[in-house]
Amino acid sequence: MGYLGRLILLLQLLLTTQVARAIDISPDDPNSFKQAASAAAYDMVSYYSGNQSGQIPGKLSGTWWEGGAMFMTLIQYWHWTGDNSYNDITQTGMYWQAGENYDYMPSNYSSYLGNDDQMFWGLAAMTAAELNYPQVDGKPSWLSLAQAVFNTQVPRWDKTSCNGGLHWQIWSYQAGWNQKNAISNGGLFQLAARLARYTNNQTYADWANIIWDWSATTPLLNTKTWDIADSTTFPSGCTDHDDDQWTYNYGTYLMGAVYMYNLTNGDPKWKAGIDGLLGTIWKNFFPQQYGGVMVEPCDAPKNCNRNEILFKGFLSSWLAFTTLLAPYTAGPIIEKLKLTAQAAGKQCTGLSDGKHCGMQWYNPTWDGTDGLEQQMSTLSIFANTLAAFEPQGSGAKNQAPLTSSTGGNSTSDPSAGTGSSADEGLGPHFSPITTADRVGAGVLTFAFATGWIGMAAWMLKER
Ligand SMILES: *[C@@H]1O[C@H](CO)[C@@H](O)[C@H](O)[C@H]1NC(C)=O
Ligand SMILES: *[C@@H]1O[C@H](CO)[C@@H](O)[C@H](O)[C@H]1NC(C)=O
Ligand SMILES: *[C@@H]1O[C@H](CO)[C@@H](O)[C@H](O)[C@H]1NC(C)=O
Ligand SMILES: *[C@@H]1O[C@H](CO)[C@@H](O)[C@H](O)[C@H]1NC(C)=O
Ligand SMILES: *[C@@H]1O[C@H](CO)[C@@H](O)[C@H](O)[C@H]1NC(C)=O
């Protein structure tokens, strides 16, 4: 082999080694987390076309709610790294999808949404408020967008069945309306707790208590075993349960408990919740079988759907913020997040840039899957684990979520989302056709009914 041949071989070798060690995380080097996050963010955004001409800002193909999740993750990424490359697309998308009434019920999609779909946008807005994310002049504050989501969801609290609870779906014509589920109720619980801490308004704290206490009367939150069922149905009086275990259900109840713990300066009610839920989280989702790396039960068989691939990312971010708001939890959480982030980096050797990630974070070889969702989840763990490098402990100056009395400058509007809402008064008992409308309107009724069938088919296809 000549000199040139050997040089080419050497170059090829160098290139393959680089691809193989694609995302390399050193657990004690914050820059390695920043670089990993930057690579994951770049590949995530490459799946997004909402900022191209002719496209709809904030709308991802085939899904609406994931847009909120994506922006929430990009806001956290900005917070931890200071990289503002994606602030334009985030601000534009967040305001576009807030809809006509700035309550994340845009009329294009509002007729087939679940409470949880709307909530992810609300949580993204809340995150922006707490992190003093730059806002756009002349637009409603991030805080008011979150308040609008709270204000539209609270009237949907349905005491006529199971003594309370939110239905999964907003509208009674939707399949899944008979469920009261963990992510919808745990989502509103989390938002209420965060609004309570940010504004110090007791109404939000009262709601956080109501939702937690109600959940504890159902299989959605077992305060003895600290198990969280995915859903229960109201025809059973909320006694039956779908016991599928999902990271984000635990994460959302944990997060709300953590904010309430911080707000109440360590109330034992919330400390018991944090300790109990962390116990089941470690047991269920960080099993020794996978080396203590975070795993979603659907990862190993690779049968997570696109929604489910995102869940580990949510748990990652909520665990990271837990370490700042309840600093006594930091030790084990940081150890597990760092271990998981490092493992996830090894999973990210896919596609031509050798940096795309799969879903099996415990697997040191790329699992062959790729997508926006895989990127979003790994971005979340890479970026949010930077909380590990924050000074911990009481009084320490850290990047914990702000409040209106610790420098958070997002303006409060307690009545946001009320008033002109397209869905005002259309709670669970909304009947789309009144008796008066029905008189002599057989044809219309028929068109209406077939419309819903079409809508239902569409709903199944995208959400
Ligand atoms: C869309 O956003 C990405 C990421 O910020 C950027 O690279 C791209 O140029 C943007 N496209 C348009 C048309 O603005
Ligand atoms: C609603 O759909 C119209 C037509 O496709 C589009 O122009 C508009 O941007 C959409 N609005 C939202 C909030 O997605
Ligand atoms: C709050 O302050 C940050 C900078 O600290 C700024 O980027 C943001 O736009 C401010 N928000 C408001 C509503 O003034
Ligand atoms: C609440 O959060 C702040 C900010 O991180 C922290 O300094 C404080 O110790 C927390 N409170 C409790 C009771 O842990
Ligand atoms: C507290 O929040 C409730 C519910 O949104 C609202 O009605 C009330 O006006 C708020 N109080 C203050 C002082 O902002």
* Per-domain residue ranges of the chain: 30-45+56-156
Q: Is the dihedral of CA 70, 333, 181, 197 positive or negative?
A: negative
What value, to the nearest 5°, has the Cα angle with vertex 288 and ends 283 and 294?
65
Going by alpha carbons, the residue nearest to atom 6 of ligand 5 is 414
Q: Is 27 in the pocket of ligand 5 (CB under 6 A)?
A: no
By C-alpha distance, which of 65, 139, 131 is closest to 372?
65
Residue pair 383/81 in contact by the 8 Å Cβ criterion:
yes
CB of 89 shorter than 6 A to ligand 1: yes
C-beta 323 within 6 A of ligand 4: no
Of 135-149, 319-333, 342-356, 425-439, which range is least confident?
425-439
Let me know if 292 is exposed, middle or buried by CB neighbors in 10 A (0-12, 13-18, 19+): middle
Per-residue pLDDT of 344-354, as tens digits, reads 999 999 998 99
* For ligand 3, atom 6: residue with the closest CA: 134
Integer Rg of the chain from CA = 23
Residue nearest to atom 9 of ligand 5 (CA): 414
Pocket of ligand 3 (CB under 6 A): 132, 134-135, 141, 409-410
Confidence check: pLDDT of 168 > 90:
yes
Looking at residue 391, what is its pLDDT? 73
Q: What's the average model confidence in pLDDT over 60-74?
A: 97
Q: Pick from 126, 181, 183, 131: which is nearest to 158 by CA?
A: 181
Provide the sign of the torsion angle of the four alpha carbons 109, 111, 117, 121, taken in this order: positive
| Mean predicted confidence (pLDDT) in 74-97 | 98
Lowest mean pLDDT among 88-102, 107-121, 170-184, 389-403: 389-403
Query: Do 285 and 296 form a contact (C-beta atoms < 8 A)?
Result: yes
In the chain, % of residues over pLDDT 90: 83
302 touches 374 (CB < 8 A): no
C-alpha closest to that of 227 among 299, 289, 277, 160: 277
Q: How much is the pLDDT for 12? A: 52
Higher pLDDT: 340 or 419? It is: 340
Please, which pLDDT band fits residue 292 given cuts at 50, 70 and 90? very high
Sign of CA dihedral 305, 118, 154, 224: positive
Tokens found for residue 188: 């509103």
Is-contact 77 71, C-beta < 8 A?
no
Token pair of 116 as six digits: 């949880």
What span, in angstroms and rounded, lies between the C-alpha atoms of 215 and 103? Answer: 25
Answer whether residue 146 shows pLDDT above 70: yes
Substitution site in 263, 324, 398 for ligand 4 pocket (most atoms within 8 Å of beta carbon): 324
Q: Which of 96, 85, 82 is nearest to 46 (CA)?
A: 85
pLDDT bracket for residue 398 (50, 70, 90): confident
pLDDT at 182 over 80: yes
- Find the length of the chain: 463
Q: Residue holding tokens 């990127």?
A: 375
- Bridge partners of 462? none
Q: Identify the residue whose tokens are 């077992």.
A: 222
CA angle in degrees (0–180, nearest 5) for 150-152-153: 65
What are the tens digits of pLDDT across the range 346-395?
Answer: 999 999 899 999 999 999 999 999 999 999 999 999 999 999 998 765 55
Give the span between the Cα atoms of 255 and 274, in whole angstroms: 8
